[in-house]
Amino acid sequence: MIHDLIRFIEGIWHNTALVAAFSAILITQVLKVPIHFLQYRVWDFHKVIDAGGMPSSHAAGAGALVTALAYVVGPQSPVFATAVVFAAVVMYDAGGIRRHAGEHAALLNRIALELQKSGLTPRPPSNPNVEGERLKEILGHEPPEVVAGAVLGVLIGAMFGKWW
């Protein structure tokens, strides 16, 4: 049993594409902290686990996966083709649908706050100073964040594909 577990872990460790993708996600999530500091002059270590922000870890992970697979199985492989389609969907989702959902959340939060301030809410909160639960507004990425993540992911994927 323990031997099987060790072989499984070794298999994952030697899976170049998988290690490249997860490394790209980890690196980009960590990079969000200093980039946020450079933009806003505020250290926010919560950015490591937050969605959204510069660069897109979604795009980086997908880009690293595709690039590493190009090295491992070749661009003619159906596995590579599948990864390219997957990456396109992930990047479209991160930069489009998820970003728009965040914009909708921001609008709904503003509407809820205005309704509460005007007294038109069906049930006023027990504490008038508490505005209630807010929807998460930063869900997706702006196009430059997706592009930066994709470029970083391709670079990381190439390094792993060539040297891992």
Residue 152 has pLDDT above 60, yes or no: yes
Distance from C-alpha of 11 to C-alpha of 123, rounded to nearest angstrom? 56
Amino acid residing at 128? P
pTM of the model: 0.76
Instruction: Look at residue 132 in the predicted model and tell me its pLDDT.
Output: 58
Residue 145 has pLDDT above 60, yes or no: yes
Give residue-wise pLDDT tens across range 85-137. 999 999 988 877 666 666 766 777 777 777 777 776 665 555 555 555 776 66
Distance from C-alpha of 64 to C-alpha of 72, rounded to nearest angstrom? 12
Give residue-wise pLDDT tens across range 18-53. 999 999 999 999 999 999 999 999 999 888 888 778
Q: Which long-range contacts (CB under 8 A, 24 or more apart) does 128-132 make?
A: none
Instruction: Look at residue 124 in the predicted model and tell me its pLDDT.
Output: 54
Token look-up 């196009």 returns: 143
Distance from C-alpha of 146 to C-alpha of 87, rounded to nearest angstrom? 11
Distance from C-alpha of 80 to C-alpha of 7, rounded to nearest angstrom? 25
| Per-residue tokens: 76 | 């003619």
